[in-house]
Amino acid sequence: MKTSFLDNLGKVYGIYTGGFLGFVIILAILEQMGLPDKMIGYAFVFMTIAVYATIGFISRTAQVSEYYVAGRVVPGFYNGMATGADWMSAASFIAMAGGIYAAGYNYLAFVVGWTGGYVLVAVLIAPYLRKFGAYTVPDFLGARYGGNFARFIGIVILFSCSFTYILGQIKGTGEIASRFLDIPFEVAVFVGLAGILVCSMLGGMRAVTWTQVAQYIVLITAYFVPVVILSAQKTGIPIPQLMYGQVLQDIANLEQTKPALAGVKPFMATPKDATEAFNFFALVFCLMIGTASLPHVLMRFFTTPSVKEARKSVGWALLFIFMLYFTAPAYAAFAKLEVYQNVLGSSLATVEAVQAMLDTNSWIVSFGNLGRISICGFTGNKSADVLMTAQAIFAACQAGGITELVHTAFTIQTDVIVIATPEIAGLPYVVAGLVAAGGLAAALSTADGLLLAIANALSHDVYYRMIDPEASTHRRLVVSRILLVVVAVMGATMIAFFELGNILALVSYAFSLAAGGLFPALVMGVWWTRTSKQGAIAGMIAGFGVTLFYILWTHKLGFAQPELWGVKNISAGIFGIPVAFIATYVVSMMTPAPSAEMQAFVRELRIPSGKNMMEEKV
């Protein structure tokens, strides 16, 4: 049965893609026939989650190899697609275009850094970890550096960066579910959590892999459709990636004649000084290094049949990721133009005028009641029964002497720009539902990978390797599933009840933590045979410690101290990475070299061909 499935992957996913497009078309027809918007939102959210859950159920397994590494049978093309879905999280799908919308070229650091990071993955790390043949990144650290202490430090760093990353994904699912299910954000977070768990708990990496392939198809379709339609409407040519230069010019003209949007920089703005320019390149650096260090990304390359397929899958992943990243700036540009043209300038002179504006732009009420939109400083909050009404907005605007909706009186949180754009542009609601399904697919796919990275490390590297080496397969899988649920509930609780920052900030912290803590130990472990156990441990502790300290030092939940030399805390790894490399090198030179056997092992690891070196031992 497994062989038959693998032999017919193209047919299986071709049918799935056709079925999904058919589902969208049917909903579009039903919308024209009068199907309420709320029912369309329910259909997209629940039907897509149901499909993912079905794939997860069909792919359930009780075999360790399949649960941890999908049986190492995933072809490079499909692993690249799954990696693309695993990678393109809520930050990529929901928040990146919103960041570009708000900060213009400054936020292209995310596009450049994340994409460039995959070059480092392909050249420096992924093929060699695949040849090593382990289940987890801490497995490599434990074997390369001879003992459980290095493994344990790796687990601590893995948990810290992956859990921080998960918080961003859970926030993304909450944003989408709250809008399209019309429920409070605090409740929506746990609805999204249920979707995350049903996709991953039963089948582990095997289920997540085949689910992520399906999720990539949904998310890339959802990202393309609205911006392609807008490109056709605004420029006459449905290729937004090539045509948004015309839109940028229109935006630049509007920005010159009207005040800037509140909290939003001009789209074409360049760094204002050397500090801002440095922060741009510091963020690119941290994101690149972090990309090559994140355990849930590196785990994906453990699933391929061979080292050669691992290299291929990195190339395919770059292509699939490029498709969305090349489109994100265009999405941001079209979104900003729609806000200028469709929202600003509305009369606020009377309650009736405000009501007419709300009726025309009903999405303002929906997002306003969720606390994501502010007009004249008034922000609704449905959970607190403070609703975005014409009377409330009129009173707030009159108090500020504002009679027309101008740029400085209107703010929208960047995390909802992507999912709000179809409604801002007046596109059919089915398009908004499609975007919601895409954003949900992005958040779910990444959250699944992150949860598995944490649960597998805790169950395999802590429980099995360090606590109970005689544990049965059944017990190991039960422990992994329990830990997966516990970690997921912890993350959802934190997001529901604490304001931890926007999605891009949470994700950026994760990248810096992974970069400072893991990258030097991984790279030097492969490329410098002299790296000693003591050096690697010292480097991991120093790099991770410095990075974490700077994040806490500057964050409102920590000491809230001023930034050093103006360096933003989302680039905290700029301090931790060099410290980790220096500590690893200095301590390695001061301590005994690894054994001749281990040095020969490392040299063999770097040879492109050959057998998987530890396959039979893990």
- The answer to whether the CB of 213 falls within 8 A of the CB of 79 is no
- The answer to whether the CB of 334 falls within 8 A of the CB of 240 is yes
Q: Which of 584, 47, 523, 26 lies closest to 288, judged by CA?
A: 523
Q: Which residue has the tokens 């499935």?
A: 5
pLDDT, position 585: 97
pLDDT, position 153: 93
DSSP-assigned beta bridge partners for residue 411 = 374
Q: Which tops the pLDDT comparison, 306 or 524? A: 524
**pLDDT class for 592, splitting at 50, 70, 90?**
very high
- The answer to whether the CB of 407 falls within 8 A of the CB of 343 is no
| Least reliable range by pLDDT among 103-117, 512-526, 576-590 | 103-117
pLDDT, position 614: 61
pLDDT, position 416: 85
Q: What are phi and psi of 159, to 5 degrees?
A: -60, -45
pLDDT, position 617: 43
Structure tokens at 276: 């801002």
pLDDT digits (tens, 9 = 90+) for 216-242: 999 999 999 999 999 999 999 999 998
pLDDT, position 1: 47
**pLDDT class for 495, splitting at 50, 70, 90?**
low
- The answer to whether the CB of 169 falls within 8 A of the CB of 450 is yes
Mean pLDDT of 151-166: 87
Q: Which tops the pLDDT comparison, 513 or 69? A: 513
Q: Exposure pattern of 232-251 as b/e (b: 16+ CB <10 Å)?
A: eebbeeeebbebbebbbebb
Residue 25 has pLDDT above 60, yes or no: yes
pLDDT digits (tens, 9 = 90+) for 446-482: 887 887 788 777 887 788 777 888 887 778 778 877 8
pLDDT, position 534: 95
Please spell the DSSP secondary structure of 62-94, one letter per residue.
--HHHHHHGGG---HHHHHHHHHHHHS-HIIII
pLDDT digits (tens, 9 = 90+) for 533-547: 999 999 999 999 999
Residue 618 has pLDDT above 50, yes or no: no
Sign of the alpha-carbon dihedral angle for 247, 248, 249, 254: positive
Residue 146 has pLDDT above 70, yes or no: yes
- The answer to whether the CB of 580 falls within 8 A of the CB of 543 is yes
- The answer to whether the CB of 157 falls within 8 A of the CB of 518 is yes
Query: What pTM was computed for the model?
Result: 0.86
**pLDDT class for 202, splitting at 50, 70, 90?**
low
How far apart are the C-alpha atoms of 618 and 600, rounded to whole Å? 20
Residue 519 has pLDDT above 90, yes or no: yes
pLDDT, position 529: 93
The shares of helix, strand and coil residues in the chain, as percent rounded to the nearest 5, are 75, 0, 20
Mean pLDDT is highest, among 162-176, 196-210, 275-289, 381-395, for 275-289
Mean pLDDT is highest, among 177-186, 267-276, 538-547, for 538-547
Structure tokens at 606: 């770097």
How far apart are the C-alpha atoms of 612 and 133, rounded to whole Å? 5
> Which residue type is seen at 120?
L
Helix/strand/coil for 404: strand
Mean per-residue pLDDT over the chain, rounded:
84
**pLDDT class for 559, splitting at 50, 70, 90?**
low
Mean pLDDT of 437-452: 83
- The answer to whether the CB of 227 falls within 8 A of the CB of 97 is no
pLDDT digits (tens, 9 = 90+) for 296-341: 888 888 888 888 888 889 889 989 999 998 999 999 999 988 888 8
| Least reliable range by pLDDT among 143-152, 353-362, 448-457, 513-522 | 448-457
Helix/strand/coil for 151: helix
Q: Which tops the pLDDT comparison, 516 or 487? A: 516
Could you give all domains of the chain from N- to C-terminal order, each with its CATH number? 48-336+428-617 (1.20.1730.10)
Residue 10 has pLDDT above 50, yes or no: yes
Structure tokens at 495: 């997001």
Mean pLDDT of 546-552: 92
pLDDT digits (tens, 9 = 90+) for 113-129: 988 888 898 888 888 88
Q: What is the spatial order of strands in the sheet that 373-375 belongs to?
A: 378-379, 373-375, 410-412
| 565 CB-contact burial (10 Å; exposed 0-12 / middle 13-18 / buried 19+) | exposed
Residue 403 has pLDDT above 70, yes or no: yes
pLDDT, position 550: 92
Mean pLDDT of 83-102: 84
Mean pLDDT of 388-396: 93
Mean pLDDT is highest, among 120-134, 241-255, 486-500, 528-542, for 528-542
Mean pLDDT is highest, among 176-185, 295-304, 606-615, for 295-304
pLDDT, position 189: 77
Structure tokens at 484: 């997966």
pLDDT, position 615: 53
Helix/strand/coil for 370: coil
